[in-house]
Amino acid sequence: VSNAGVGMAGPPECQSLAAMQSLMDTNFFGLVRLVKEVLPDMKRRRGGHIVVISSIMGLQGIVFNDVYAASKFAVEGFCESLVVQALRFNVAISLVEPGPVTTEFEAKLYEEAERADYSRTDPETADIFTNLYLRNSKDVFASLGQTPEDIAEHTLRVIEAARPPFRHQTNAAYAPMAALKHADPSGALMTDAFYKLVFKYDAVLRLSLR
Protein backbone atom coordinates (compact mmCIF):
# COMPACT_ATOMS: atom_id res chain seq x y z
CA VAL A 1 0.00 0.00 0.00
CA SER A 2 1.43 3.35 -1.08
CA ASN A 3 0.06 6.06 1.19
CA ALA A 4 2.79 8.71 1.50
CA GLY A 5 1.61 12.18 0.61
CA VAL A 6 1.98 15.90 1.24
CA GLY A 7 -0.35 18.72 0.29
CA MET A 8 -0.06 22.20 -1.19
CA ALA A 9 -2.71 24.83 -1.85
CA GLY A 10 -2.51 28.40 -3.02
CA PRO A 11 -1.56 30.54 -6.02
CA PRO A 12 1.39 28.86 -7.79
CA GLU A 13 3.31 32.14 -8.06
CA CYS A 14 3.47 32.13 -4.24
CA GLN A 15 5.02 28.65 -4.04
CA SER A 16 8.70 27.97 -4.58
CA LEU A 17 9.90 25.56 -7.23
CA ALA A 18 11.82 23.69 -4.51
CA ALA A 19 8.60 23.12 -2.55
CA MET A 20 6.85 21.90 -5.71
CA GLN A 21 9.73 19.50 -6.47
CA SER A 22 9.65 18.21 -2.88
CA LEU A 23 5.93 17.50 -3.16
CA MET A 24 6.43 15.61 -6.43
CA ASP A 25 9.27 13.64 -4.88
CA THR A 26 6.96 12.38 -2.14
CA ASN A 27 3.62 12.05 -3.92
CA PHE A 28 4.85 10.68 -7.24
CA PHE A 29 8.44 9.46 -7.01
CA GLY A 30 7.72 7.92 -3.59
CA LEU A 31 5.24 5.64 -5.37
CA VAL A 32 7.72 4.97 -8.20
CA ARG A 33 10.42 3.94 -5.71
CA LEU A 34 7.99 1.59 -3.96
CA VAL A 35 6.89 -0.05 -7.22
CA LYS A 36 10.51 -0.53 -8.33
CA GLU A 37 11.18 -2.37 -5.07
CA VAL A 38 8.17 -4.69 -4.95
CA LEU A 39 7.10 -5.29 -8.56
CA PRO A 40 10.04 -7.49 -9.68
CA ASP A 41 9.37 -10.05 -6.90
CA MET A 42 5.63 -9.98 -7.62
CA LYS A 43 6.32 -10.63 -11.30
CA ARG A 44 8.60 -13.55 -10.43
CA ARG A 45 5.90 -15.02 -8.16
CA ARG A 46 3.24 -14.14 -10.74
CA GLY A 47 1.05 -12.73 -8.00
CA GLY A 48 0.62 -9.58 -5.96
CA HIS A 49 -1.45 -6.46 -5.39
CA ILE A 50 -0.27 -2.84 -5.24
CA VAL A 51 -2.80 -0.47 -3.69
CA VAL A 52 -2.19 3.24 -4.24
CA ILE A 53 -3.93 5.99 -2.27
CA SER A 54 -4.57 8.53 -5.01
CA SER A 55 -7.20 11.29 -4.94
CA ILE A 56 -10.25 12.52 -6.78
CA MET A 57 -7.83 15.30 -7.78
CA GLY A 58 -6.02 12.73 -9.87
CA LEU A 59 -9.11 12.76 -12.11
CA GLN A 60 -10.12 16.41 -11.89
CA GLY A 61 -8.00 19.42 -11.04
CA ILE A 62 -9.35 21.85 -8.44
CA VAL A 63 -8.67 25.58 -8.36
CA PHE A 64 -5.63 26.52 -6.21
CA ASN A 65 -4.54 22.86 -5.95
CA ASP A 66 -2.48 23.02 -9.14
CA VAL A 67 0.70 21.24 -8.00
CA TYR A 68 -1.02 18.71 -5.73
CA ALA A 69 -3.41 17.78 -8.54
CA ALA A 70 -0.48 17.49 -10.94
CA SER A 71 1.19 14.99 -8.60
CA LYS A 72 -1.97 12.89 -8.43
CA PHE A 73 -2.45 13.09 -12.21
CA ALA A 74 1.10 11.72 -12.46
CA VAL A 75 0.21 8.89 -10.08
CA GLU A 76 -2.88 8.04 -12.12
CA GLY A 77 -0.99 8.12 -15.42
CA PHE A 78 1.84 5.98 -14.06
CA CYS A 79 -0.55 3.34 -12.75
CA GLU A 80 -2.79 3.42 -15.83
CA SER A 81 0.26 2.77 -17.98
CA LEU A 82 1.59 0.04 -15.68
CA VAL A 83 -1.61 -1.92 -15.04
CA VAL A 84 -1.70 -3.72 -18.41
CA GLN A 85 1.86 -5.00 -18.04
CA ALA A 86 1.17 -5.99 -14.43
CA LEU A 87 -1.90 -8.01 -15.41
CA ARG A 88 0.31 -10.14 -17.67
CA PHE A 89 2.07 -11.29 -14.49
CA ASN A 90 -1.14 -11.67 -12.44
CA VAL A 91 -0.32 -8.54 -10.42
CA ALA A 92 -3.24 -6.24 -9.57
CA ILE A 93 -2.95 -2.48 -9.24
CA SER A 94 -5.69 -0.49 -7.51
CA LEU A 95 -6.13 3.27 -7.16
CA VAL A 96 -8.18 4.35 -4.14
CA GLU A 97 -9.50 7.86 -4.88
CA PRO A 98 -10.84 9.74 -1.84
CA GLY A 99 -12.34 13.19 -1.86
CA PRO A 100 -11.75 15.35 1.23
CA VAL A 101 -10.69 13.44 4.35
CA THR A 102 -10.90 15.15 7.72
CA THR A 103 -7.48 14.69 9.32
CA GLU A 104 -4.70 16.72 10.92
CA PHE A 105 -3.07 16.67 7.47
CA GLU A 106 -5.80 18.90 6.05
CA ALA A 107 -6.10 21.06 9.16
CA LYS A 108 -2.36 21.78 9.09
CA LEU A 109 -2.45 22.53 5.36
CA TYR A 110 -5.18 25.14 5.76
CA GLU A 111 -3.60 26.67 8.85
CA GLU A 112 -0.40 27.18 6.88
CA ALA A 113 -2.38 28.60 3.95
CA GLU A 114 -4.08 31.16 6.18
CA ARG A 115 -0.70 32.36 7.50
CA ALA A 116 1.17 32.36 4.19
CA ASP A 117 2.58 35.40 2.39
CA TYR A 118 0.65 36.25 -0.78
CA SER A 119 2.59 39.36 -1.71
CA ARG A 120 3.98 37.61 -4.82
CA THR A 121 0.53 37.48 -6.41
CA ASP A 122 -1.91 40.23 -7.29
CA PRO A 123 -4.40 41.46 -4.66
CA GLU A 124 -7.43 40.05 -6.51
CA THR A 125 -5.99 36.53 -6.62
CA ALA A 126 -4.96 36.73 -2.97
CA ASP A 127 -8.48 37.83 -2.04
CA ILE A 128 -10.10 35.02 -4.07
CA PHE A 129 -7.89 32.44 -2.38
CA THR A 130 -8.19 33.64 1.22
CA ASN A 131 -11.79 34.87 1.25
CA LEU A 132 -13.43 32.55 -1.27
CA TYR A 133 -11.45 29.34 -1.65
CA LEU A 134 -10.44 28.78 1.98
CA ARG A 135 -13.93 29.59 3.27
CA ASN A 136 -15.63 27.26 0.79
CA SER A 137 -13.09 24.51 1.42
CA LYS A 138 -13.92 24.49 5.13
CA ASP A 139 -17.60 24.06 4.28
CA VAL A 140 -16.78 21.25 1.84
CA PHE A 141 -14.75 19.39 4.46
CA ALA A 142 -17.41 19.89 7.13
CA SER A 143 -20.16 18.61 4.82
CA LEU A 144 -18.51 15.99 2.60
CA GLY A 145 -15.31 15.04 4.43
CA GLN A 146 -14.79 11.37 5.26
CA THR A 147 -13.00 9.98 8.30
CA PRO A 148 -9.66 8.15 8.02
CA GLU A 149 -11.45 5.06 9.32
CA ASP A 150 -13.91 5.25 6.42
CA ILE A 151 -11.06 5.42 3.90
CA ALA A 152 -9.38 2.48 5.65
CA GLU A 153 -12.58 0.43 5.29
CA HIS A 154 -12.77 1.25 1.59
CA THR A 155 -9.11 0.29 1.18
CA LEU A 156 -9.66 -2.99 3.01
CA ARG A 157 -12.54 -3.87 0.69
CA VAL A 158 -10.29 -3.22 -2.30
CA ILE A 159 -7.53 -5.41 -0.81
CA GLU A 160 -9.94 -8.26 -0.05
CA ALA A 161 -11.80 -8.15 -3.38
CA ALA A 162 -11.68 -11.36 -5.40
CA ARG A 163 -11.14 -9.24 -8.53
CA PRO A 164 -9.59 -5.97 -7.31
CA PRO A 165 -10.84 -2.88 -9.16
CA PHE A 166 -8.35 -0.64 -10.91
CA ARG A 167 -10.12 2.50 -9.65
CA HIS A 168 -12.24 2.85 -6.51
CA GLN A 169 -13.77 6.20 -5.54
CA THR A 170 -14.69 6.45 -1.87
CA ASN A 171 -17.20 9.30 -2.07
CA ALA A 172 -20.12 9.13 -4.52
CA ALA A 173 -20.65 12.89 -4.20
CA TYR A 174 -17.64 13.44 -6.46
CA ALA A 175 -18.74 11.14 -9.31
CA PRO A 176 -20.24 14.06 -11.33
CA MET A 177 -16.81 15.71 -11.46
CA ALA A 178 -15.37 12.88 -13.53
CA ALA A 179 -18.58 12.57 -15.54
CA LEU A 180 -18.31 16.19 -16.74
CA LYS A 181 -14.95 15.48 -18.36
CA HIS A 182 -16.23 12.41 -20.18
CA ALA A 183 -19.41 14.20 -21.30
CA ASP A 184 -17.44 16.86 -23.19
CA PRO A 185 -13.91 15.91 -24.32
CA SER A 186 -13.18 19.56 -25.24
CA GLY A 187 -13.23 20.49 -21.53
CA ALA A 188 -15.58 23.43 -22.08
CA LEU A 189 -18.47 21.95 -20.07
CA MET A 190 -16.29 21.15 -17.06
CA THR A 191 -14.51 24.51 -17.13
CA ASP A 192 -17.74 26.48 -17.41
CA ALA A 193 -19.41 24.50 -14.62
CA PHE A 194 -16.51 25.01 -12.21
CA TYR A 195 -16.15 28.69 -13.08
CA LYS A 196 -19.80 29.32 -12.29
CA LEU A 197 -19.62 27.23 -9.12
CA VAL A 198 -16.63 29.19 -7.82
CA PHE A 199 -17.39 32.73 -8.99
CA LYS A 200 -21.14 33.00 -9.56
CA TYR A 201 -22.90 30.53 -7.29
CA ASP A 202 -20.51 30.28 -4.34
CA ALA A 203 -23.22 31.49 -1.93
CA VAL A 204 -25.58 28.78 -3.17
CA LEU A 205 -22.75 26.23 -2.83
CA ARG A 206 -22.09 27.20 0.79
CA LEU A 207 -25.78 27.14 1.65
CA SER A 208 -26.28 23.70 0.10
CA LEU A 209 -23.25 22.30 1.92
CA ARG A 210 -24.54 23.58 5.25
Q: Which of 68, 110, 118, 201 is catalytic?
A: 68
Angle between helices 17-27 and 66-88 (to 10 degrees): 30
118 counts as catalytic: no
What are the catalytic residues?
68
